[in-house]
Chains A and B, each alone.
Chain A
């Protein structure tokens, strides 16, 4: 594995503290942080929708990696492995914070999504659209919802999503198809309601 920025990690006290035996694994973890922290953060954020929680989830993921640093050499695809860990961490956290109302979060999140080259009115309409979409996604069954969220990441193929969720690629494809079908139904229903209320 290529280890970028190792000297910088030494200055942070990474491998100075660790013994000579774990020096290599500490460097490998540092490289994993540099390479995949952003991806892991985005995966965490797409589920938790909270900056601080997502960052905590990323840190917890790397702490778990640190605890199992002896087995790092056996990992074939560290990216999928890390996404899988952060996914489990995130689901654990979400399960614990289930009572928190999400209504306001969705509206806030829809406003946060980037819009470029739009007028003020179009921005409001775009935010409304994003909000509708996110509410529709929240109404999907859990399995379909998970697949849909992970499929939005360009870094992850359907095979990798299958590895993260611990299922087969064909299952992922069928779930994705079902999710999109359900989502379009929900959105058309929501648009119909929006139109009739006008």
Chain B
């Protein structure tokens, strides 16, 4: 029963299948094979384009390796340029610009820049005077400090008296 149904459907569709079979059986144009042969011959006549890499290094594995090595070298040198360059110190002499008006042989104190006669005096040249710290006597360091218990029983203000007693 199922097969009959399948066959019935097959035949119904096969009516349309006839059109597709006619379409599939349309003859190819004349001299198709000759044209294909000619095209293939032309394609072979043109030398295969070879890139820079294949000229230098034929094996693809080596090309990748060489490219990787070059990339690492370039990255390393770039890192060196940016991070390994000596920083210019504030007092370092730099080249004066051409035609800046400085005479040849004259000392180039400003590095080509004029400070408009302004003289900056750093604060370290006029140091702040700090009074000397009081000297401790040799025996005073060993004096016993009053315990917090003894101080707790006394009224505030007597601590100074105790200190003055221990430190005459």
Contact = CB atoms under 8 A, between A and B. Distances in A.
A13 B41 contact: yes
Interface in A159-198: 177, 179-181, 183-184, 187
Interface string B1-37: 0000010011011111101111111111100110111
Interface in A119-150: 129-130, 133-134, 136-137, 148-149
Interface residues of B, number: 32
Contact of B35 (A14, A17, A55, A63): A55
B44 A17 contact: yes
Given A37-B28, A180-B13, A184-B12, A113 B43 contact: no
A34 interface: yes
A66 B15 CA distance: 40
Given A41-B28, A180-B12, A18 B21 contact: no
B29 to A, nearest CB: 6
Contacts of A112: 26
Given A14-B40, A17-B41, A33-B33, A130 B22 contact: yes
B14 A180 contact: yes
Given A180-B10, A180-B12, A184-B9, A114 B22 contact: yes
Contacts of B45: 13, 17
Contacts of A14: 37, 40-41, 44
A158 interface: no
